[in-house]
Structure 1
Amino acid sequence: MSTVPLILDVDTGIDDALALLYLVSSPEAEILTVASTGGNVPTAQVAANNLAWLDLCGRPDVEVTLGSEVPLVGELRTTEDTHGPQGLGYAELAPSTRSLAHRDSATAWVEVARARPGEVVGLVTGPLTNLALALRLEPELPTLLRRLVVMGGAFNHPGNTTPKSEWNVSVDPEAAKAVFDAFSAAPPERRPLVCPLDVTETLEMTPEHVRRLAEAAGSLPAELLSEDDPVGRRSRTGNPVLRVLVDAIRFYMEFHREHGHGYIAHMHDPFAAAVALDPTLARTRRATVDVELTGTLTRGCTVADWSGMWGRPANADVAVSTDPDAFFDLLIERVGAHLCL
């Protein structure tokens, strides 16, 4: 099996945590560095989550860098109501005893890409701030990277932050625009692959998925989440990684129920992680993507020109569909097997 060298840029975050675990569980994933971006929670908390979660998942060797504390323009907005006070729902992680890397996240993007030109896949599951800053240091990143995979945007789908904008883009629209503009220079076979809400909101993790994952991990007692459970019930499994994951996912399911989605959890970021390793999991359509910055009602909206009306070359391959059952089967198999070790 050939390896996929990866730069990860995350705002951990419940679904980011599962994305990290999925990659740790995937033998072909070569995680070179993990960048921390403020988004779901502030940047320092994201970095602390990354260190502690990677330690618990058995990867204390992976470098974690600290990224920008603010977007390119304006104040940072965070969403603890969605992800909990520390970003991981009801879960509590023991603080890591190791330190962050000396280099910052933007520098890590540049140095890792330069060290292995044409090999490295960048995966961003949070705001694009660090990558936008890295492009200021190294404008050739679009040709140095093998590919970029982004979880973000909404096209023929409502937003989840405003009626027209998705969270990651909405936090730092200027960064998103800078990235899409810069990656217009990427050759067609290296166009960014964008995983928008149009697809990721079809990936609904249910209590049955959690039960199957725990069963695959050999967990006792069984993890039987129910919307009839008391709010905030905690996992009793003896597996410490699974316990954190289930306590995080329960919070996420309660949030989705409160907002009218049912007792489920949209798994945006694990899907993007899976696509970074295997792009065939998504059916894509090429487009020219841009980001609205000045609209009174539409700031942060991602706009796709599917038909070439702007007369500009395509700069993205946008995921338009996937097989949710196949994705969850893959996730449960990989993560379950890893947790059994």
Structure 2
Amino acid sequence: MAQKLLLIDTDCGIDDALAIIVALAAPGVKVLGITCCFGNTDVDNVCQNVMRVLTVCQQTQVPVFKGAAGALIGPVTGFKDHFGTDGLGDVLEKTEIWKEQIQKEHAVRAMIRLVNENQGEVSLIALGPLTNLALAIRLDPSFPQKLKDLYIMGGNMEGKGNLTPTAEFNFRMDPESAYVVLEEYTCSTHIATWEFTCRNKLSWECFDEMVNQDTAAARFMKKITSKCWAYSREPRTINKDLLFGNGFVPYDAFAVAACLDSSVITESLQCAVRMEVEGQLGRGMMVVDAANTLKKDHLAFVMRTCDLKKFSLMLKAALQIA
């Protein structure tokens, strides 16, 4: 059986780190490269974080590329501390070694080259703001047609947000890029929205089983989540029915898992989607148009339900790699 080829675009925070580990651990999979963008933290920290993950997994041969440092439009704004100021919980020593380890080629150029070298075979997984993807199609308008498929963690399906009242973090950090991707990437597109990930949270008992395994990867995950307020187990309520604190939400890992094994996702809504780029409250919200009143030819698959047992076993197995 031919290897499954992945290209991962990330703003590597704690959830991205777990998602990357899952991809690296999957049998029959080759990660062609990891491209970095701003998001959870600045792009330099993201590059360093990716190299930390690869080092823990003993897979530093995977090439890493530095990409967009800010959104297409507007100045670079302050970063949130959801996963700590460095994206990995502020518990790791900062060094400059990563600068010698990453590739000199720009991330967007690398994306285009790697896909051109493997046309029709590459699954692109986007785990952060979509700036690198938008830039790629502006440099090469045929880029999406050369992909096998696209998996995104981002956006929302019910107008409920975590950065603003109506917008999810990844899409709100660069709405114009999200608009470009949702309109112009006509390859098979699968979206794990914020509400979907929250509604398919895992138990803290499951989390403890994962991170208490005697492996380097499990110890790494336990360390980077140890002091991060986002992993507090105190119940919090956001948007009425989305509960936090009573479960572990591995946001980005859903997109990777869906790409690796389509049976993990038990129900999806195939529909038109569009990014709202205007409005004081609506900017950054993904509109789900189930009736396709937009008359779009390209419909995305918006994930709705998940096989949690299969998903949790995949995560647990991934942390046994080292």
Q: Between Structure 1 and Structure 2, how many residues are aligned? A: 312
Aligned amino acid, residue 276 of structure 1: C
**Aligned counterparts of 1:92 and 1:263: Cα–Cα separation in 2:** 27
- Match in the other structure for 1:11: 11
The residue type equivalent to 1:88 in the other structure is L
**Counterpart check, 1:314 vs 2:298:** yes
Q: CA deviation at 1:242?
A: 2.4
Q: Distance in 1 between matches of 2:49 and 2:211?
A: 22
Pairing 1:282-321 to 2, within 5 Å after superposition:
282=265, 283-321=267-305
Residue identity in the other structure for 1:306 = A
Rounded Cα–Cα distance in structure 2 between residues aligned with 1:309 and 1:126: 28
Q: TM-score, normalised by structure 2?
A: 0.90
Letter aligned with residue 198 of structure 2: E
Which residue of structure 2 lines up, in the alignment, with residue 247 of structure 1? 223
Report if aligned partners of 1:52, 1:93 keep a CA contact under 8 Å in 2.
no
- CA displacement, residues 113-140 of structure 1 (integer Å, 9 cap, x when unaligned): 1111100000000000001001111111
CA distance in 2, matches of 1:33, 1:63: 5
1:184-213 CA-partner distances (Å, limit 9, x unpaired): xx3xxx421111113111232443123322
Match for residue 210 of structure 2 among 210, 213, 219: 213
In structure 2, the partner of 1:228 is none
Give yes or no for the alignment of 1:32 onto 2:32: yes
Give, as a single letter, the amino acid of the residue that structure 1 aligns with 2:217. V
- Asked if the contact 1:210–1:246 (Cα under 8 Å) also holds between the matched residues in 2, the reply is no
Deviations 1:191-244 (A, max 9, x none): 2111111311123244312332245x3x2xxxxxxxxxxxxxxxxxxx443222
**Matched-pair contact (CA < 8 Å) for 2:207–2:248:** no
Decide which of 309, 315, 319 is 1:325's aligned counterpart. 309
What RMSD in Å do the two structures reach over aligned CA positions? 2.0
Give runs of aligned pairs for residues 1-341 of structure 1, distance below 5 A. Answer: 1-77=1-77, 79-92=79-92, 95=95, 96=97, 98-156=100-158, 158-183=160-185, 186=186, 190-214=187-211, 217=213, 219=214, 239-250=215-226, 251=228, 253-255=230-232, 257=234, 259-260=236-237, 261-282=244-265, 283-336=267-320, 338-339=321-322
Aligned equivalents of 2:80 and 2:286: distance in 1? 24
Contact 1:13 / 1:40 at 8 angstroms: preserved in 2? Answer: yes
Q: Report deviation, 1:173.
A: 0.3
CA displacement at 1:148 relative to structure 2 = 0.6
Q: Is the 8 A contact 1:7 1:120 kept in 2?
A: yes
Q: Which segments of 5 or more consecutive residues in structure 1 lack a partner in the other structure?
A: 220-238
TM-score w.r.t. length of structure 1:
0.86
TM-fit CA distance, 1:326: 2.5
Structure 2: gaps of 5 or more residues: 238-243
1:178 & 1:193 partners in 2: Cα distance?
Answer: 16
* SS class of match (1:168): helix
The 1:78–1:5 alpha-carbon spacing in structure 2 relative to 1, beyond 3 Å, is: farther
- Aligned partner of residue 124 in structure 2, secondary structure: strand
Counterpart for residue 240 of structure 2:
none
In structure 2, distance between residues paired with 1:75 and 1:121? 31
